[in-house]
Structure 1
Amino acid sequence: MIFRNLLVFFLILILFLSSANPLLSNAEDTKKKVLLVYDRRSFFGFSGDIVTSYRELFGHFNVDVLEEIEEDYKKGQADDFDFIFVIGIEGDFFNSILLEDLKKTKKTVCWIGRGIEKLLEKNKRVSFTYDGESGELVKVFYRKKSFDIGLIDNFTIIDNISSNSKVYSWLSDGKNMYPYIIRENNYWYVSRAISYSVLFYIFADVLYDLFNEYSKIDKSRVFIRIEDVHPFRDTEKLRAIAEYLNSKKVPFMIAMIPAYKSQNSSYITPLSEKPEFIKTIKYMQKLGGSIILHGYAHQAFGGELTGEGFEFWDGINDKPLSLDIENWIYKRIGLGIQECVKNGIYPLAFEAPHYAVSQRGYKVLKKYFSTYCGHIQTSDQGFATTSYPYILYDTELFHKFIPENLGYVDPNNPLTINDIKNNFEKVSIVRGFTAGVFFHPYLDIKYLKEIVEMLKSENIEFYDLKKEDNWVKWNNINIMSKNGEICVDYSENSKDDSIKKGFAKGIKILIIFVLFVNAIFFYILIKSKKKANKDLLGD
C-alpha cells in the first residue's frame, strides 16, 4: 500500500516539475561542440565575413559553435571540443600553442585555406605536403560531376598524397589535378576559404561526412516565391499566377509589402485602402500561397519607391542604419504585421528588402519570426550576402533559415532561365538541398511557366511553407502554422489580453501547487495511519 502511495506521489511530483519547466520534457539531444579558429574575418577589399558564412553553415548540423581568433587560443582549449575548424584568410598563424595542440590532438581537425604548411611542419601524422599556391585552377570535380569555377586566386596546392588519404573533391588547371578537399586520419583540408560559387556547396555537402550526420539528409525540395507583392500590383496578373501554380499543384510563397509609397510622395498607402488587392491575396492564400512579410513599405528614406528602396540598411552609405535598430524593427515589423492580420492575411516568415540588414538586426528579428527566407548578409562592413544550399537551424542569427539560391528572372538577360537551371544544377549536388527562385509578378507569366516546367522535369518536391512549423509573434499577435493549418491569436486590447493570460497562468500554477500539497498530505496521512496501526498492535 505504501509503495503504491509513493508511486502516486512521485508521479504527481514529476508532473509538477515538468509543468513548471517544459524544457525538462523537451530536452534537446546533446550537441557536438565546434571550435572555429580564424586569423582574419574577411579577405582584403571584400566586405563579406567569411567566418560568419561558415559559422552559419554549421547550423544545418547538430553542433554548437564557438569562434576564437587564433591569437586568443589557449593551451588545451581544443580538448573541450569535438571538432576544430581553422580558417586561414592570410595564413598568419603565429600562436605556437594552437599549432602544437592541433598536431597532438585526436579530435577532428579541418583546416580551410591558407597557413596549412604550419600544421604540416614536423607533423608525422600527415603525409601530404604543402606545395605553394595557384590562381590558375579553373574546374572542380565532385561526385562524378564537374563545374567551371573561373579564375579564383589563392588555392593552396597539396602534394605527396598517400594511400592513407581520401580526396573528396579535385581541382584542375586543365592539365593537372589537385585536391580541393582531402582527409588523412583525423585531419581534413580544404584548399581555399570561400563563401560563394559551387565550391562552397561542395564543402557544405562534405560536412555530412565530416560530422558523420547522415540522418540530417532530408528530402530535397524547391520553392517559388512571388516577389515584391504590394497594394498597387495588377490583381489580374496576381490571380493568373496563383491559378497557374495551383493547376500545376505547386505551392508558393508571396513576398508581401503591406504598404506602398510612390516616388517623391510623402503618403503611404496601406493595403487596407485596396479592397480588391486584399481579396486577391486571400484568394492566392487559398490556392496555395504562404505569406512572407517583406518589410513594411520596402523603403524608408527620401524619395525611394516601394520595392526599390532599403528599409533596414543604409543603402546610400552602405552601412547599418544610424538609429536604434531594435526600436526601428519593432515599429516597422509591427506596422506590417498589424496591417496584414487585420485584413485576414497571415505572414509566416520574414525577408528583408534586398536581403539587407545588419547583424544586430537579424538578432532582433529572431524575437518576432521563427523563419527567415533569402540570403544572409554576413557583415556590417558593407552589403555582401551568402547563399546556402540547405535549411539552417538555431544559429546565432536565425531560428530557421530557408535559402534562396537559384536567382530570379531578369527579362533583360536572354539566358535568364538557363542561368536558373545552371544554379539548380550546382545546388543539387548537395544531399538534402533546399532551393529557391523568385519571380516578379509584373513580368510575362511565360517565364514562370518555363521555370515550373524545368523544375518539374527534375522530379523534385515543391516546398510548402505553411506545412512547416512556423511562428510570428508581435505584442498581442501570435501566428502559427503546422501541417497546412494556420492559427491566429489576436486581441485588440493587448493590455487586457496580457492580464487574461497572466490570470490563466496563475490559475494553472495554483492548481498544480494544490495537487502537489494534497499529494504530500495524502502520503503523510497514509504513513501516519500505518504507524498508528502498528502502535495499536504493539509492533
Structure 2
Amino acid sequence: MLALLLSALVVSGASLGIFSRKEPATLPAPRSWPECSTSGPRTPAGHTTGLETAYDDSAGQNGQNVQDGQERRDRPEGQDGSGDTTLVVVDDADGRAAFQVHATRAANLVSHFGPVHVIRTSAYRSGLLDRHRALVYLGTSAAQRLPAGLRGDVLAARRPVLWMGGNIGTLTTADDFAHRYGWRWDGAGLAPRQTLGQPPVNQARVTGQGLDGVTGIRYKGALLSRTSTQGPVATFTILDPRRARALATAVTDDGRTRAWAVRSANLTYLAEVAVNADTDDDRFLAAADLLFDLLAPGTPVRHRALVRLEDIGPQSDPDAVRAAGDTLAGLGVPFSFGVIPVYRGPLPDGPERATIRLRDRPELVRALVHLLDRGGTMILHGYTHQSDGPPNPTNGETGHDFEFFRTHFDAQRRLVYDGPVPGDSASWMQRRLDAAVAEIRAARLPVPRVFETPHYAASPTDYRVIARRFAARYDRGSYFMPGWEGRSPVSPYMDEHLAPYVIRDVYGSVVIPETLGMVELRPAGPDEGTTEAILAHARSQLVVRDNVASFFYHPFLGTEQLETVVNRMRAMGYRFVAPCEL
C-alpha cells in the first residue's frame, strides 16, 4: 500500500502546465460503447457463505454471518447431496481474530472455484464433508482438538481434502496413518536420502518443532519466497513413493531441503498454512495452484495478463494519456484505465486551491474517448482520490491522499492506518459514488461497472456498498479482524490480500486481480517498483496453471518501460486480455 502512496507523490508534478493548455470549446458528443468498454469478468466467481466477521451487520449482508460458528442450511447443493460448495474448516482454539484472518484468506482463494462455506473446527459435525465437493482445512492452532466427526470423514476418503499446517498427527495413530497414506507425519521411517529422491540432507536445525531457516519453497521448478521469521516448517517422511507423491520442497537459507507438500489417496498435505500473500512471501502461489487439483483438475494451462493505466484525472496530460493508449493498442494489447472524475489541489494553496472536473477538461475527455476507441476499458478510480479534510496523509491533493480511510505518517515516515474517515457510513459512501458517477455522465463518458479503490483502502462498510453498486472491483482488498473498531491505529488489525485469479471476496465483490504492482518514478530499491521486480513476480506466478498477472502504469512515465514489461511478459508466455475476457 505504501508504494501506491509514494507513486502518487509525483502525480501533480506530471500535471505542471496542463491547466494553462487551451481547451477545445466542447465535449465530445454522447455515444454508445461496446460492453467491454466498461465491464469486468463475464462469469462471476463463487460466493462465500458462513464466514463470521466482526464487521458484518446483523442482517448478514452477502450471506456472510454465522452465529456461533453453526453451519448455514441455505447453501446450494446438487441433487445427489454432494453440493457444489467447498467446505473450509479453520481452527478457532486461538480465538476469534486468528480464526477470521485465516478464514478470510482461505475463503477468498477458494472462491475462484465456486461457492465457499466456512466454519470453525469446533463446529464440525459428522457427515458435513459428504455434503460438500471437497474440504480445505487450516490447522493454525496446536491447541485445537479435532472433532471425531472430522477425523472420521477425512479418513473415509469419500471427498478430496487439502490439509494445511498442524494437527495432522491427531488424525489417527502414526502407524495407521503410514499404512493408509504411505508417509509419516512424525518424520520417522526412511533415511532422508529416500525422501523425494533427494541427496542426503544435513539433519542439523531439524528440530522437534520442524525445519528452521526455511526461506523458499520449490514448486514446479520455481523457488517461491518465504520469510524465515515465520518460524520452522513441519517435517515428514515419504515411505512409499508409489502411493505418496511429493509436490513441493522447503529450502533453507543454506540450501538444505525437506518435503513441504505431499499427495496420497484423497489427501493433499501442506506442511504449513500458506494462504497469505506478500511481496516477500509468495509460497501461497503453490497453495493457489494445488487448489486446481482439488477443485478443477481438468483445467488447462493458461497464463493471462492485464495492464491498467493509472490515476488519470483532470490534472493529467492528454498527450501522455494518448501516447500510453496508442502504445498498447499498437502492440495489440487490451488495457484498462482508472479515471478520477474530480481534481482537488493541495491544501497549502488555501483559498486558491483548485477544483477541476472532467467536464472542465474537454481535451482530456477526448483523450479518454480515444482510449475507449482503442479498445480500453474504463475503470472508476474513486471520486476525488483524496479526503475533504486534513492531510491524509500528505497534502490533500488528488492522487496523493487516501479517499476512504484515515492515515498519517509516524516519526519514521512509516504509513499508519488510523480508521474510517469521519462520517463514514453506507449512505455517505453511496452519496460519494453517486457524485462520481454524475461527474462521469456530465463529461459524456460511459459509466464504468468496475471500481478501483484509491490506494486500495476502505472501510468494510464502504466495500459492501461497492459490492452492491459495481459488477467488480479491480484492486487488492483490505480486510479486518475483530477488535479494530474504535481503535487507532487500525494498522495491526488490517490485512491486504490478493489472489492470482478472479475471486469473489468476503465483501461480495468479484475482484479482478492486481498482483504485480507498478513501475515507480523513483524506486526505493531493486525489489519493488522496477520493471525487473514486476517481471520477477510475473515469472513466479507462472506456477499457477491458470493465472492472471496484472500490473499498473502511470502515463506520465512515458512509454519505454511500459513496452518493456509488456514485451517481456509476452515472451514468458503471457497473453494480454481485457477485464471482460476473464
Shift, 1:407, TM fit: 1.2
Which residue of structure 1 aligns with residue 313 of structure 2? 230
1:282 aligned partner, one-letter code: V
CA distance in 2, matches of 1:203, 1:186: 16
What SS does the corresponding residue of 1:140 show, helix, strand or coil? strand
**Residue type of the alignment partner of 2:358:** L
Separation in structure 2 between the aligned mates of residue 320 and residue 48 of structure 1, nearest angstrom = 20
| Letter aligned with residue 184 of structure 2 | F
Kindly report which structure 2 residues correspond to 1:316-331, keeping only aligned pairs within 5 A, or say none: 316=408, 317-321=417-421, 323-331=423-431
* Corresponding position of 2:135: 84
Matching residue of 2:211? 134
Residue 185 of structure 1 corresponds to: 265
Shift, 1:294, TM fit? 0.8
For residues 223 and 452 of structure 2, the distance between their equivalents in structure 1, rounded to whole angstroms, comes to: 33
Q: Any residues of structure 2 matched to 1:156-305 within 5 Å, and which?
A: 156-163=234-241, 164-173=243-252, 174-194=254-274, 195-196=276-277, 197-215=281-299, 217=300, 219-264=302-347, 268-300=355-387, 301-303=389-391, 304-305=396-397
The whole-number CA distance in structure 1 between the counterparts of 2:245 and 2:227 is: 25
Letter in 2 for 1:445: T
Q: 1:103 to 1:362 in 2, by over 3 A?
A: same
TM (normalized to structure 1)?
Answer: 0.74
Does the CA-based 8 Å contact 2:77-2:131 persist in structure 1? no
Structure 1 CA distance for aligned equivalents of residues 494 and 147 of structure 2 = 35
Q: How does 1:119-518 map to 2 (within 5 A)?
A: 119-121=171-173, 123-124=176-177, 125-126=180-181, 127-131=183-187, 132-151=209-228, 152-163=230-241, 164-173=243-252, 174-194=254-274, 195-196=276-277, 197-215=281-299, 217=300, 219-264=302-347, 268-300=355-387, 301-303=389-391, 304-316=396-408, 317-321=417-421, 323-346=423-446, 347-380=448-481, 381=484, 382-392=493-503, 394-413=504-523, 415=526, 416-465=530-579, 467-468=580-581
Query: Any residues of structure 2 matched to 1:3-82 within 5 Å, and which?
Result: 32-40=84-92, 49-62=101-114, 64-82=115-133
TM-score normalised per structure 2: 0.69
Superimposed CA distance per residue, residues 78-107 of structure 1 (whole angstroms, 9 cap, x where no aligned partner): 343332222122332124435543454323
CA contact (8 A) 2:460 2:507 kept: yes
**In the TM superposition, what whole-angstrom CA distance separates every residue of 1:257-312 from its partner, at most 9, and x where no partner exists?**
11111121576422122222212211222122211111101112323221122222
Residue 245 of structure 2 aligns to which amino acid in structure 1?
Answer: K
Q: How far 1:378 sits from its partner (Å)?
A: 2.8
- In 2: Cα distance, 1:423 partner to 1:140 partner: 15
Matched residues in 2 for 1:443 and 1:193: separation? 39
Name the % identity: 23
Instruction: Letter of the 2:431 partner, please give it.
Output: K
Counterpart for residue 52 of structure 2:
none
Q: For residue 118 of structure 1, what is the amino acid of its counterpart?
A: T
Aligned to 1:481: none
Distance 1:134 1:395, change over 3 A: same
State the alpha-carbon separation in 2 of the partners of residues 289 and 244 from structure 1. Answer: 12
Higher alpha-carbon deviation: 300-309 or 326-335: 300-309
What secondary structure does 1:181 align onto? strand
Tell me which structure has the larger Cα radius of gyration.
Answer: 1
Q: How far apart, in 1, do the equivalents of 2:380 and 2:330 lie? A: 25
Counterpart AA for 1:159 = T
Query: Residue deviations 1:203-243, cap 9 Å, x none?
Result: 1111111224424x474211111111110111221122122
Alpha-carbon distance, 1:358 to partner: 3.1
What amino acid is the match of 2:104?
Answer: T
| Distance in 2 (alpha carbons) for counterparts of 1:446 and 1:435 | 20
Conservation of the 8 A alpha-carbon contact between 1:406 and 1:435: yes
Structure 2 counterpart of 1:170, one-letter code: T
1:328 is displaced (CA, Å) by: 2.2
Please give the alpha-carbon distance, in whole angstroms, between the structure 1 residues aligned to 2:558 and 2:135: 50
AA paired with 1:452? V
Which protein, 1 or 2, shows the higher relative CO under an 8 Å CA cutoff with sep ≥ 6?
2
For 1:186, give the aligned amino acid.
N
1:336–1:29 CA distance, 2 compared to 1 (3 A): farther
Are the counterparts in 2 of residues 90 and 114 from structure 1 also a CA contact under 8 Å? yes
Q: What SS does structure 1 have at the residue aligned with 2:512? A: strand
Q: Report the 3-state secondary structure (helix = DSSP H, G, I; strand = E; otherwise coil) of the residue aligned with 1:250.
A: coil
SS of alignment partner, residue 311 of structure 1: coil
Distance 1:202 1:455, change over 3 A: same
Deviation at 1:146, TM superposition (A): 3.0
The structure-2 alpha-carbon separation of the partners of 1:47 and 1:271, relative to structure 1 and needing over 3 Å to count, comes to: farther
- 5+ residue gaps in structure 1? 1-26, 470-539
Contact 2:151/2:172 (<8 A) preserved: no
- C-alpha displacement at 1:324, in angstroms? 4.9
Structure 2 Cα separation of the partners of residues 56 and 309 of structure 1 = 28
SS of residue in 1 equivalent to 2:540: helix
Q: 1:66 to 1:29 in 2, by over 3 A?
A: closer
Change over 3 Å in CA distance of 1:427–1:298 after alignment to 2: same
Q: Distance in 1 between matches of 2:303 and 2:341?
A: 31
Rate the CA distance shift 1:332–1:461 in 2: closer, same or farther, 3 A.
same
Conserved 8 A contact 2:246-2:262: yes
Name the SS of the counterpart of 2:435 in structure 1. Answer: helix
